[in-house]
Structure 1
Amino acid sequence: MIAAMELRHLRYFTVLAEELHFGHAAARLHMAQPPLSQRIRDLERELGVRLFDRTRHKVRLTEAGALLLEHARPVLQSAEAAHEAMRRIRPGESGVLRAGVPPDTVPATLRTLVAEFTREAPDALIDLQEMTTDEQLAALREGLLDAGMVRHPCDTAGLECGPIARRALGVVLPVDHEQAGAGTVDLRDLNGQPLVIFPRAMAPRLYDHVLSVCGSAGFRPGAIRHARNPHFSNGLVLAGRGVHLNERPHSGPPEGLCWRPLADTPLSWQTSTVWAPRRRHPMIDVFSEAATAGLAAAGHLTGAEGSPL
C-alpha cells in the first residue's frame, strides 16, 4: 500500500502535519483548501488509517499520523536530494558542465579557461576531462559530455563548432641535429628521418592531414614512432629516435632539445570548441568563450587570423 503513495500526497500530509491548520497548509502549498482535504482523505483511505483528528476548531495528528510523519520526512528529503543531483548534472542552472580537452593542452590554456568560466558562471561547476579528439566526439554524441575542445580536421558531422583558433607548428630536434641552428626548417630538409607523432586512433583525420602535408612538402618519414605523452615524445627525440612536430613550448624545450619554426608555416594546430545542438545551453556559450580565451592566452590566433589554412 505504501509503495502506491505519490510523493505529492506525502508532501501534502507533511505540510498539514506541520501547520495543523488546513487553511494555512493550503496557502503554503499554493492550492485551495477543498482539494487538500480531499487528498488527505484519499491518503487515509489508501493506508486504511486516520491520520488526523479533526474538530471544528482544531486539527491534531493521530498516533498513526505521527508515525507516518517520521517516515515521510526522510522520503521527501531523499527525493529532493535526487532532484537536486539531477538538476546539477545539466549544464548551467548552478550545475556541472562536463567538458573534454586534448591531453596535451598547455597549463596556460587551462588556467585561463577555468578562470574565465568561473568569472562568467560563478554558480556553475566545470568538470574538465582529458580526452583525445575522437574520444570527445564519441562522448558528445552519446551525451556523456556537454562540450569539448577538439583538433581539426575531424569528423564533426551532426555537431556544432565554435570559432577555430590556430597555432603554428614547428619541429622539436636534438640540439646536435643538423637543422638545430637553422632560423626556420623546411620540411623537405627532414626527408627520410623518423617522425614521432601521436597514434592515429587519437585523431585519424588530423593524423592523415599531418602526414599528407609532410609528404606534399617533401618530407617522407623513414619510420613512424607513436607517442601519446609529450614527455615520451620528447624522450624519443632526445634519444635520437626521430623528430617531432609541435607548437612552441611555453617554458622552453627540455634540456638537450630545441624548437625551430617551419618555413612558410605549413602545419598548425587548429582547435575549436564543439557540442551537440540538442544540448545547446548558455553555459556552453560561456565555455566556448572561456576556451577561446584560454587558447589565445597560449598563443593561438583567433578570429580571422585563426581561420583554417
Structure 2
Amino acid sequence: MEARHLRYAVALAEHQHFGRAAAAIGIAQPPLSKQIAALEQEVGARLFDRTSHGVFPTAAGEAFLVRAHRALAEMSAAAIDSGRAARGETGRLRIGFVASALLEPLPVVLVRFGRERPDVRLSLHEMATSRSTAALVSGELDVAIGLGAPRGAGAEGLVQVTLGHDHLVAAVARSHPYAGQQTIGLDQLRQQHLIISSGEDEPGVIGMLRTLFGADSRALEGATVARDVHTIAGLAACGVGVGLGPSRMRLITRTDLWVCAVAPRTLLPELTLAFRAADDSPVLAAFLDAIRSHCADIDDALGRRLGSR
C-alpha cells in the first residue's frame, strides 16, 4: 500500500464518481478503477459500493478513510517539519558562554535569533572557557563563547573566530575618590583594595595582573575574588574596592558605578566563538548568520574558516 492509494480512495469518496475522481487527481478512469480494486484486494474488504447513483464508501471504507485522512495529514506534516528543520527553523541549540558575553554580544544576538527562530529550543549554560571547550569537543554543546583560543584535547577540530577585543579597566563606586578620572595608574591601584576575577570565567587575567604589577603583587594577594564581571561591578559599586575587569564592563548600566581605563593599557584574552568544524547543523548555521548580522567585522573571518571545511 502506497500513499497514492490513500489519495485515490480519499478522492473517490469525495467525488463519489470514478470519472470525476480521476479527473481531480490527474489520471485516467480505468487506472483509478484498477488501483481501487487492487487496494480492496490488499485490505481484504470491499471499500466502495458501486451503484447507478454513484460510488459510496462501505462501513469498511468509512473506517479505512478515517485512517487514510490521518495518514495523509501526518505525511504532509512530516514534509513540512522536515523542510523547517532543514532550514534551521526547528531543533535545538546548546550554547556555553562566559558571563561577560552577556554584556556583548549575546543580548542582541539572542533576541534576534529568538525572534527569527522562535521554535528553536535554546539551551544556555554559563561556564568557564575550559569547561565549555571540553563540552564542545565531547558533543555536549554546539557553540562555545569563551575567552582566548580553545585549548586542550580535540581543540584542533574546532572552528574559532574572534568576537571582540578587551583591555583592562577599573570600576569604582561613584562616591570613590577616583570616580570621574579617565585613567587610573598602577601606583593608584596598589594603594587600593582590589576586586578581581577568580580566573575561571576570565582565564589568563590573573597571570596578566601579576605581570602588570610585577614583583609587588601584594595588592593581588589581599584582593576580593569574584566569580564574574557582574559581581566585580556590583561589589565595586558597593564601595568594597576597585574592580578590575574587561573593557566590556563599560556596558554595565549602573548609575552608582564609574569605569575608567588602566594605565599602562593591558590587553586581555579575546572573546571567541567556537564550534565543531564537522557540524553541519542548519540551526548552527542560522545562529552563525545571526552572529554575522550583529558582528559584521567577523563575517570575512568566519567565511574563510567555513570555506575551508
TM-score strictly above 0.5: yes
Cα–Cα, structure 1 residues 131 and 53, in superposed 2: closer, same or farther, change >3 Å? same
Instruction: Name the counterpart of 1:152.
Output: 148
What TM-score, normalized by structure 1, do the two folds share? 0.64
- Residues of 2 paired with 1:86 and 1:139: CA distance? 28
- Residues of 2 paired with 1:28 and 1:285: CA distance? 45
Q: Which runs of 5+ in 1 are unaligned?
A: 305-309
What TM-score, normalized by structure 2, do the two folds share? 0.64
* Deviation, structure 1 residue 115: 7.3
Instruction: Name the counterpart of 1:283.
Output: 286
Note if contact 1:96-1:124 (Cα within 8 Å) is conserved in structure 2: no
Instruction: Name the counterpart of 2:305.
Output: none
Q: Which protein is richer in strand relative to its size?
A: 2
- Residues of 2 paired with 1:129 and 1:106: CA distance? 15
Instruction: Name the counterpart of 1:250.
Output: 251
Cα–Cα, structure 1 residues 169 and 24, in superposed 2: closer, same or farther, change >3 Å? farther
State yes or no: 1:113 paired with 2:109: yes
Cα–Cα, structure 1 residues 11 and 185, in superposed 2: closer, same or farther, change >3 Å? farther
State yes or no: 1:167 paired with 2:166: yes
Aligned pairs for 1:95-244 within 5 A: 95=90, 98=93, 100=95, 102-105=98-101, 109=105, 112-113=108-109, 130-132=124-126, 134=129, 137=133, 140=136, 147=143, 149-155=145-151, 156-175=155-174, 183-186=182-185, 190=189, 193-197=193-197, 200=200, 203=201, 206-207=202-203, 209-218=204-213, 220=217, 221-222=220-221, 223=223, 225-228=225-228, 230=230, 232-237=231-236, 238-240=238-240, 243-244=243-244
- Residues of 1 paired with 2:193 and 2:34: CA distance? 84
Instruction: Name the counterpart of 2:61.
Output: 65
Note if contact 1:172-1:243 (Cα within 8 Å) is conserved in structure 2: yes
Alignment: residue pair count: 284
Instruction: Name the counterpart of 1:292.
Output: 295
- Residues of 2 paired with 1:136 and 1:6: CA distance? 48
When Rg is computed on C-alpha atoms for both structures, the one with the higher figure is 2
Q: Which runs of 5+ in 2 are unaligned?
A: 302-309
* Deviation, structure 1 residue 170: 0.8
Note if contact 1:53-1:60 (Cα within 8 Å) is conserved in structure 2: yes
Cα–Cα, structure 1 residues 189 and 43, in superposed 2: closer, same or farther, change >3 Å? farther
How many percent identity over aligned positions?
25
Cα–Cα, structure 1 residues 251 and 275, in superposed 2: closer, same or farther, change >3 Å? closer
RMSD: 4.7
